Amino acid sequence: MLRSVLLIFFLFGAGATMAQDVEVIKYPQLGAIINTNEDGIKVINFWATWCKPCVEEIGYFEAANSQFRDKGVSVILVSFDFGKDVEKKVQKFIDKNDLRSRVLVLDETDYNSFIDKVSPSWSGAIPATLIVNSKTGKKQFYEKTFKEGELSEVIEAFIN
């Protein structure tokens, strides 16, 4: 009994204070995040656990998430992992790397229907990153892998 109480405490208590839980969404939910009227700047990175260049730059996004949080910037990692891999791969990746940024899995099939809505300059290749100030409508889009130090420079420039 004590053991199961401890186990439950461990599972739920730990989950709340440590790494994030992955959320599965459809495009309209992402569209709402991009076009919301709330304050704040969002750095939305499109990635997948199977995408090597994406995984290599995740650390920069994690660093930016803590570095710029008090400046009203939040990092959102939007994964294109397939539905069956959400627990097996994405949640495992989050836990293993102790990710603190919000992680979403975009479970869509008709890609052509929303890529231009994120940015007309996006070919569809990942990694890709959208920085947006929803309130002012200011947007910047990058279809590339960031190098060390480059992402924080880009965010810094966007804020100022």
Partner 1 sequence: MKKTISLLVLLAIVQVSAAPFDGGYEVGDIARDFQLKNVDGASVSLSDYKEAKGFIVVFTCNTCPYAKLYEQRIIALDKKYKGAGYPVIAIQPNDGSLSPGDSFEAMQANSNKKGFSFPYLLDETQEIARAYGAARTPHVFLLNKESGKLRVAYIGAIDNNHQDSNKADKKYVEDAVDALIASRKVPVTFTKAIGCTIKWSGT
Which of residues 109, 136, 137, 160 is near partner 1 by CB under 8 A? Answer: 109
Binding part of the chain for partner 1, among 16-24, 28-36, 106-114, 132-140 by CB under 8 A, reads 106-114
List the one residue from 141, 143, 152, 158 that touches partner 1 (CB under 8 A).
143
What's 55's DSSP letter? H
Q: Is 53 in the site for partner 1 (CB under 8 A)?
A: yes
Whether the CB-CB separation of 9 and 92 falls below 8 Å is answered with no
DSSP letter for each residue of 11-58: IIIHHHHSSPPPEEE-HHHHHHHHH--SSSEEEEEEE-TT-HHHHHHH
Task: Using CB under 8 A, count the residues that bind partner 1.
Answer: 25
Q: Is there binding between residue 148 and partner 1 (CB under 8 A)?
A: no
Contact 136, 40 (CB under 8 A): no
Tell me the per-residue interface mask from 63 to 82 with partner 1, x by CB under 8 A, - otherwise.
-----------------x-x
Pick from 41, 43, 64, 127: which binds partner 1 (CB under 8 A)? 127
